[in-house]
Structure 1
């Protein structure tokens, strides 16, 4: 992510295998920002849940926890599963092989505002075929 001022990773033992919490501070560059996840997991699955972007304590994303059982607010690949997320709820699950698969959301911001971005991720596999590329851009 560009303009990062702080990156934190925490192991969270909420279910097995483990979810990792990733958080970063980012200064908004434009009136709109797009948060994109590029996922590849050969030959298993990557799980994303509880994706959040906060500004001044206000949530800027729609459906960051996928609890609607749909990808409401998200664009790109459509891979949801119940029983796999934090607390065994819905989450985004991607098992694309051979290339990156993308899911993104664009949201309104105020240029110069501080954004707190966080999400939970877990990988079902390991090795060079496991990629999670996270970007934010105006």
Structure 2
């Protein structure tokens, strides 16, 4: 008897990552707003759990995030990745913002899909949302998300996505 492992197909071509930094940009020179850009990565777990983190700072615009997924085979590991709960349920929030902490926002015309998305206009210091999930060391995971930059291109805009 043979068995076949199935893996979820990400919405865009994945890039392989061996380190904890999946995506990082500082002071981009252009934006696709209002269109979201898809990012996808394959990553191999090194322990029994992992934390996916999104750090944002934007003076004075904002980052918009939607449809965050982490798949192990066909199993989705992220809770509320589309922010459709209308809250940050499933996510841990941390940071210190001078103005406007990141939060789930309603507005289907601004969401990649559904009715909600994460909108982060944190200025001066930045903030982070993260989610921890169980992993199997040595197994491959597929991480994907959609991101756009509203109010580009000002003096301080940072987005860092890490997995550890």
TM-score (norm 1): 0.85
Where does the alignment leave 5 or more consecutive residues of structure 2 unmatched?
1-15, 23-31, 95-101
Partner of 2:18: 3
Q: In structure 2, what is the Cα distance between the partners aligned to 1:20 and 1:63? A: 19
1:92-128: CA deviations, max 9, x gaps? Answer: 1100111221000000111111000000000012244
**Contact 2:54/2:161 (8 A) holds in 1:** yes
Where does the alignment leave 5 or more consecutive residues of structure 1 unmatched?
8-14
1:7-41: CA deviations, max 9, x gaps? Answer: 8xxxxxxx951100000100011111000000011
Name the CA shift for 1:56/1:87 in 2 (closer, same or farther; >3 Å).
closer
Q: How many correspondences in the alignment?
A: 129
Work out which of the two has the higher radius of gyration on C-alpha atoms and give 1 or 2. 2
| Partner SS state of residue 113, structure 2 | helix
Query: Which of 19, 25, 29 is the equivalent residue of 2:42?
Result: 25
Partner of 2:130: 104
Structure that is richer in strand per residue: 1
Partner of 2:85: 68
Shift >2 Å, 4+ stretches? none
**Contact 1:40/1:98 (8 A) holds in 2:** yes
| Partner SS state of residue 71, structure 1 | coil
**Contact 1:82/1:88 (8 A) holds in 2:** no
**Contact 2:86/2:116 (8 A) holds in 1:** yes
1:61-117: CA deviations, max 9, x gaps? Answer: 111111111111100155110113113620111001112210000001111110000
What is the aligned-residue RMSD (CA, Å)?
A: 2.2
Partner of 1:81: 105
